[in-house]
Structure 1
Amino acid sequence: MLKRSLPFSTLLLALACTAPGDAVPAKPAEPFKPFLSLRPVAVSLAKGATQAFQAEINYPEGMRYMRQPVAWRVVEPEGGTIDGAGLYTAPATAGTYHVQVKREDFPEVSATATVAVK
């Protein structure tokens, strides 16, 4: 029986290529950046009229919510009302008011729309 052996340099190269820790590290994941947009951003309404506002957000990878985690409010007292679905009702007094939506999961992220009531 004929024994065949590999040259030492070939054996060393084979071991070096498979040694643990020599793999190219994976690119680190980008940190999640919460996003929130509001539509429309400006609207003109008659006194007592309604306007539906829409919020669009992104979600962290792998996260799903039962409902969109946003909270609505009218900034000015007596500036009308807004419900949990984003339906705004203008007040009986003309003026400029602001509707704000804020992410509940990232409270520092918010957006504001301007409402001119005539």
Structure 2
Amino acid sequence: MSRAPFPLSILLLGLACGAPKAPVPATAPEPFKPLLVLRPTAVALIPGASQAFQAEINYPEGVRPLRQPVAWSVIEPDGGTITPAGLYTAPARYGTFHVEARREDFPEVRVAATVVVR
């Protein structure tokens, strides 16, 4: 009985380990897409009442700001007031008004909520 100089399993293992590997194509990371979600999106208030608004935003990987970069405003003149923290106070008159939140780090990203004062 003749024996092969190497067992077949060693030969196959050598071929598998020594075979050239196909390069793995590099994929570009997805570009960051800034988001801004405003809550609530619509409210009804009586004149002079207040409503807290909240903004939820995402950040690029590795970025953690010291404060949330959101600017608040009321779109209509004399449509009430809003604080830097998002606390809206309705005017003393009836009407439909809009509270806007805008990302300061991405100023083109803005959303608005509707406020009906009646």
State TM-score, norm by structure 1. Answer: 0.82
Q: How does 1:55-94 map to 2 (within 5 A)?
A: 55-94=55-94
Alignment of 1:14-33 (within 5 A): 14=18, 17=20, 23-33=23-33
Distance 1:88 1:26 in 2: 48
| 1:25 shift after superposition | 2.6
Instruction: Report the Cα distance in structure 2 between the residues aligned to 1:55 and 1:70, rounded to whole angstroms.
Output: 7
User: Deviating runs (4+, > 3 A) in structure 1?
Assistant: none
Whole-angstrom CA distance in 2 between matches of 1:90 and 1:109 = 24
**Cα distance per residue 1:5-47 (max 9 Å; x no partner):** xxxxx89x94x727xxx53133221000000010011000000
Q: How does 1:28-47 map to 2 (within 5 A)?
A: 28-47=28-47
Tell me, what secondary structure is at the counterpart of 1:60? Answer: coil
Query: How large is the Cα RMSD of the aligned pairs?
Result: 1.9
- Which consecutive residues of structure 1, in runs of 5 or more, have no partner in the other structure? 1-9
Please tell me the residue identity of whatever aligns with 1:37: V
TM-score of the superposition, structure 2-length normalised? 0.82
1:58-116 Cα deviation digits (max 9, x unpaired)? 00001010000000000001000000110000000110000000000000001000000
Can you give the 5+ residue segments of structure 2 that lack an aligned partner in the other structure? 1-13
Aligned residue pairs, count: 105
SS at match of 1:112: strand
Instruction: Please give the secondary structure, in 2, of the residue aligned with 1:17.
Output: coil
- Any idea what SS the aligned residue of 1:55 has? strand
Aligned equivalents of 1:94, 1:38: Cα separation in 2: 23
For 1:85, what is the secondary structure of its paired residue?
A: coil
**SS state at 1:113 partner:** strand
Pairing of 1:49-60 with structure 2 (within 5 A): 49-60=49-60
